[in-house]
Structures are given as structure tokens and as C-alpha cells.
Amino acid sequence: MAEVAEKGSISIHTENIFPIIKKFLYSDHEIFLRELVSNAVDATQKLKKLASLGEFTGELGELRVEVSFDKKKKTITVSDRGIGMTGDEIKKYINQIAFSGASEFLEKFKDKADAKDIIGKFGLGFYSAFMVADEVELISRSYKAGEDETARWTCDGSTEFELTTAKREHRGTDVILHINKDSEEFLDEWRIKGILEKYCKFLPVEIKFGTKDESEEDGVDAEGKTKYKTVTKDRIINNPNPIWSKSPGELKDEDYLKFYKELYPFSEDPLFWIHLNVDYPFNLTGVLYFPKVKNDFELNKNKIQLYSRQVFITDEVKDVVPDFLMLLHGILDSPDIPLNVSRSYLQSDANVKKISQHISKKVADKLQELYKKDRADFEKKWDDINIFVKYGMIADEKFYDRAKEFALLKNTLGKYYTLDEYREYVKDLQTDKDKNTVYLYTSDTGKQHTYIERANRKAYDVLVLDGVLDSHFINTLEQKLDKTQLKRVDSDTIDKLIVKEEKLESVLTQAEQEQVKSVFEKAINNQNMTVAVDALSADDMPVLVTMSEWMRRMKDMAKTGGGGMYGMMGNMPDSYSVSVNGNHRIIQKILKAESDEQREKLAKQAYDLALLSQGMLSGADLTNFVKRSVELVG
């Protein structure tokens, strides 16, 4: 046992700070391992820096950090071969600086709920060890020539410490935690491995944790088949040189795709990616991928990880990344964001706001570049990326201004147009008597096929807007585009959707129109259906059932999370307009029917046909329709 060199008491103004540390850090107690490993990595990198400057000329050897545990002794050890410390340096950095930081922390944040989130700002990383340990032992040997005596510091969680000499063959530091009874969950290989993989996966120095067995080729057997043998190798937890730490010029597409699989092993390949590399007015590196997004886009959120100098911070990046880009995947790394951050810090920090704005601009620039470089390929990707673009245009004024140059509209024929191109394409034919250009659209090409055909017969074009955000996107377009209205193709008759000066004449007299209306109201017998007799083309359906654009849009907004008035609209019963085509031959048949019963039966049949064309006929109504059809054709 080494001779005791010094015992002492750490000078602080509070009786015992360790219970305070434990209290504030308790909910994140697993981060003790992140803090200790990060410290070991820092010590290693400092040595490499000194060597590069010629201030250390000794043998560097294998520079890695090793984590180990002993279940019987109830210890966890973090070892490095970095710069190490002398006894005096331990007293300075461990006893004085860290504890003065602790005192400052205590005074400033003892009454604040998010105090635990900013421990790292006060040099308390090392002392997070006391969340899980009854005693912490530090054995360190400095790299400095002539100062190679090893120092051993121990502390039991009180303000008393003991500093002695010890033996250590190589320079560097061992931090040995004697785990307390409440924290024995950490004396488990898979628990430790999980924490290291979560926080230390991309640290810039190799992290070794135990060993693993791997299968290797071992020649061929007599039949010429490959033989394999099992070999034991060091288990290296991390990738010290992730792609975001490299220059884009060093990388190929395969490198980006391989890294994506490393992050998201069960995902489809991304569509493309953006490599961020900013050094002014803030530091930011990273790679953001555009995944193929399914319609249930909530499942695709929270896939971006935030790092600081390759140390994992969080995957809650809402305040760092614009909300509309939360669907992206990838990594962001900024040393300007401290390791321990609170939500209030992220929301108020000026650098964070700049980073968010920069990411938005870089994404817009990348999309613009792809559009200009190869429009045909951009159109192929549009169905997958339009959710990002539309979300951005809805949520961010600046992004809208950038995106309007490359945002595309797709019609039912599968053709794509920019916003300006589409206006030019439809304005001559689809402008109403009030000089408004009317964009017709469908939210379901299958259910609304009858209405699409009616529009096409008049040479009108129909857009496909069937995405989860399109009800909001439609409102944005109407607000932004001058004298432009968007109307769903089944929200009324075509003549009412695009009102022209000229109108079709009705073949019915006023009295006949009143009679037809009365027959249909009795046949339908539904107060949520408003019946009108209209003069439509003889080629149109005898009856059309529509919901007004305004009513349907309010209900769509309610379904996608609109509050206030939208929420109230969502609870209201559906109300529809029933447009009876007075110029259709079936109406003449109804008027000439022999009895009121026969007239109502024919009217009900025509009405049910309209419902059937919209997928609105089901249950007993569908059964009765089929029976009635058999009677009528029998």
C-alpha cells in the first residue's frame, strides 16, 4: 500500500454537496458513464494535440479508452492513456475547480426544476460518478517527464478526500467506481454496453468494452468447402471517424448509404442527403437524410440525433431543427451546444436559432439544386419528398419563398407543374366570371372518378392532392396565390365550381322542377341532404351528391389536428347537397311514372346510384339498393 501523502477537506461553503448532485442528476443517472468516458476521451485528445505541437515526444502507443467492470468487487473502471494528472493537478482540477463549480451551481440553480440539465456547464461531469458510487477512486500518472509518480485520490462522497501515491505502469488515468447498493443494475454487461452505444457510439477515440467472438475463414476442407474458426477480439463500441467528421470530398455515395444503414439498420435506402459543414457564424457539421416517408408520418419523427463533439446529447431536437424537417433522419453535431441542455436553453439560445434557420436554408438550396440539375429525376422523387416541402411551405414563410420555385403540382394524368407553370396551363379555361382562376383537385382518384371524368369532359384539369397535409397546403396556396381558388372536384357540380356567364337551359318547367324536388325529398327523407334541381348536361349523372368545399375542408382540417372552430366542425353531422339533373332522361321517366310509389322508388334508385359512385352506400342501404335493382330490371 502506498504511503499516505495527504488527507484534507474540500473547501466549499456547503456542508455536503453530494446529496445535491445526486438529487438533481437522479433522473439521468446513467449519464455518469457518458461523463467519465468523455473526460477520458478529452484527456486522450489533449495528448495527441501536445504530440502534434511537439510538446510531447514520447511513445503514444495504442490510444483508446477502456471500460470494464467486476461484478464480485462491485466496481466499474474507466481507463485511458491520455495526459494524466499529478497530485497537485488532482487537487486543482478535482478538489478546487469542480467543487467551486458545484458551489456556483448550487447557489444559482438549487430552486430551478431544470437544474439537472445543466450540470456539465459547471465542471461537474466527474462528480456525476457519485450518483452510483459509494466511493470513487482515481489513479493517475502524468505524461510529463520527471513527474511520473502516480497519484491516487479517493473520496467517499463526503467533503473529505485522501491523496496518496500508487503504482501505474503507463501514463493516463483510471477512474474506479465502487458501486452503491441502489445502483447494482449497472454491474451488467448489456446495461453498460447499451449506455456506451447510446452516448459514445461516435466518440473520436476508440472505446473498448470487453471482447466478442467472431467467425473467421480458416482455409478449406477436403471437399473444398470454406472452414471457419471462432476468434476472440476486442469489442470496440464506437466508430471514431463517422462520415460527418470528414470532408464531403472524401466520401462516395456508398459511404453515405452505409452510414445510414448503421444508424437505421431496418430502413429503406434514403432518397438523398445533405452534408452540413459550417464554421461561421457557428460551428455545425452533420448529415441529414431524406427518407421515404409513409403516410403515417408521426412514426418517422424524432430520428435526428444531436451530438456535441461526437458525444450524444439527445434525439429531442425540436428546437434545433425546424418542425417541418423533423421527418428527416441523420446526425447534427455542434460544439456550440453544451453536453447538458434544457428545453429552455434550446428555445432561447441565439446559436440554436441560427442553426435552425441555416438548416432550413440548406435544405431549400439542396432541393433547388436537385430540381435544376435533373428535373425528370426530381419529379420521380416528388411523391416521396412533397410532404417535406409542403410542410415547410405551410409552416415557414422564408421556406415558402424559396420553395415556390421548385414545388410541384401533379395532375390526374401524372404530369408535374411548378406553381407558375400550372397557372399558365389552366388560366384560360379555368377562370370564372369574377376573374378567379379555379384549381380543381381530387383527394381520392378512385372514389371521385365520376367527378374527375365530368371535369375532363369539359377539358378542365384536375390536380391530385391526396396527402396527409394537403388540406392545410390547399389553404396556404389560396392565401399566397393571387385570385386563385382551390375546389375539390366533387364539392359541387362543375358549373357551380367554375361559374361562367353562359348557363344551360332547363328542359323542365318551374312546376315540374318543384314536383321533382318534392319527390326526391320524400324518397331521401334525410334532413342532412339539401335537394336542388339543376340544369346540367344530359350526359351528366342523374343525381350528384356533394359536400360544400368549405364544410368538407373544415372537417378535413379537424381530422388533421385543427383546433378551435375546426374541432367544432369535426363534431358536426355531415351535410350534403343533392343536385338532381333536370335535363337527364331518368327525370322524365320519374315524372311519367304511374304512381307516387313508383316515382319515389326511381328517385331513391337514382340517389343511391350517386351514393354508390362515392363509396357512401353501405349496410342495409346497399342491400336494399341491390334488391331494388333486381326488381327494376326484372
Tens digits of residue pLDDT in 366-409: 999 999 999 999 999 998 889 889 999 999 999 999 999 999 99
What CATH class is the domain 506-547+574-634?
A: mainly alpha
Question: Domain ranges in the chain?
Answer: 4-209, 243-376, 506-547+574-634
Is the pLDDT at 46 greater than 50? The verdict is: yes
Rg (CA), the chain: 36
Higher-confidence position of 8 and 551: 551
Q: Give pLDDT, residue 120.
A: 43
Residue 412: Cβ-neighbour burial (10 angstroms; 0-12, 13-18, 19+): buried
Write down the pLDDT at residue 299. Answer: 52
According to the model, what pLDDT value does residue 110 have? Answer: 53
Q: What pLDDT does 14 receive?
A: 44
Rounded to an integer, what distance in angstroms lies between the CA atom of residue 105 and that of residue 277? 34
d(CA 280, CA 50): 26
For every residue of 543-561, DSSP letters joined together read EEEE--HHHHHHHHHHHTT
Residue 339 confidence (pLDDT): 56
> What pLDDT is stored for residue 544 in this prediction?
86
Helix, strand, or coil (residue 597): helix
Rounded to whole angstroms, the Cα distance separating 292 from 303 reads 13
pLDDT, position 69: 96
Query: What is the pLDDT at residue 29?
Result: 81
Give the whole-angstrom CA distance, residue 194 versus residue 198: 6
pLDDT higher than threshold 60 for residue 344:
no
pLDDT at residue 412 in the model = 96
pLDDT band with cut points at 50, 70 and 90 for residue 113: very low
> Is the model's pLDDT at 411 over the cut of 90?
yes
Q: Are strands 64-70 and 437-442 parallel, antiparallel or unpaired?
A: unpaired
Q: For 135-188, write each residue's pLDDT tens digit.
A: 999 999 999 866 668 999 998 877 788 999 998 888 999 999 999 999 999 999
The predicted structure's pLDDT at residue 468: 83
pLDDT for position 22: 57
Residue 302 · residue 316 · CB < 8 Å? yes
Query: Under CATH, what is the fold of the domain 4-209?
Result: Heat Shock Protein 90 (3.30.565)
Q: How confident is the model at residue 410 (pLDDT cuts 50, 70, 90)?
A: very high
Best mean pLDDT range from 8-12, 16-20, 251-255: 251-255
pLDDT at residue 355, rounded to an integer: 83
At 156, give phi and psi (nearest 5°): -100, 15
At residue 628, the 3 state secondary structure works out as helix
CA distance 443 to 294: 17
pLDDT interval class at 1 (50, 70, 90): very low
Encoded amino acid at 361, one letter: K
Query: Could you read off the pLDDT of 536-551 as tens digits, one per residue?
Result: 888 888 988 887 778 8
pLDDT at 341: 55
pLDDT band of 567, cuts 50, 70, 90:
low
Q: Is the pLDDT of residue 309 over 60?
A: yes
Question: Which cell numbers in the block locate residue 554?
Answer: 373544415
Pull the grid cell for residue 188.
Answer: 451488467
Cell of 561: 389536428
The full DSSP string for 69-89 is EETTTTEEEEEE-SS---HHH
Q: Which CATH number fits domain 243-376: 1.10.3210.10, 3.40.50.620, 3.30.230.80, 3.40.50.10860?
A: 3.30.230.80
Task: Determine what percent of the chain is predicted with pLDDT higher than 90.
Answer: 41
Residue 568: pLDDT over 70: no
Percent of the chain with pLDDT over 70: 84
Query: pLDDT band for position 99 (50/70/90)?
Result: low
- Asked, colleague to colleague, whether 4-209 and 243-376 share their fold, the answer is no
**pLDDT tens figures, 594-633:** 899 999 999 999 999 888 887 888 899 899 889 888 887 7
Contacts 24+ apart (CB under 8 A), 557-561: 557/471, 557/472, 557/475, 559/471, 560/468, 560/469, 560/471, 560/472
- Give the residue-averaged pLDDT of 4-19: 56
SS3 114: coil
pLDDT of residue 122: 40
Average pLDDT for 337-352: 62
Comparison of pLDDT for 113 and 237, the residue scoring more: 237
Number of residues assigned to the chain: 634
Q: What is the pLDDT of residue 26?
A: 46
Residues whose CB falls within 8 Å of the CB of residue 600, separated by 6 or more in sequence, listed in order: 519, 522, 523
Output the pLDDT for position 168: 87
pLDDT of residue 423: 96
Residue 81 has pLDDT above 70, yes or no: yes
Question: Does residue 566 register a pLDDT over 60?
Answer: no
Mean pLDDT across the chain: 84
Which amino acid appears at position 351 of this protein? N
Residue 76, pLDDT above cutoff 80: yes
**What pLDDT is attached to residue 267?**
85
Query: Which tens digits make up the pLDDT trace of 255-298?
Result: 999 999 989 888 889 999 999 988 877 888 999 999 887 655 55
**pLDDT value at position 118?**
40
Between 563 and 37, whose confidence is greater? 37
Residue 457 above 50 pLDDT?
yes
In the chain, how long is the greatest CA-to-CA distance? 119
Predicted pLDDT at 462: 97
Q: If you average pLDDT over each of 113-117, 227-231, 476-480, which comes out highest?
A: 476-480
Rounded to whole angstroms, the Cα distance separating 495 from 505 reads 12
Q: Is the pTM of this model over 0.85?
A: no
Q: Mean per-residue pLDDT for 476-489?
A: 93
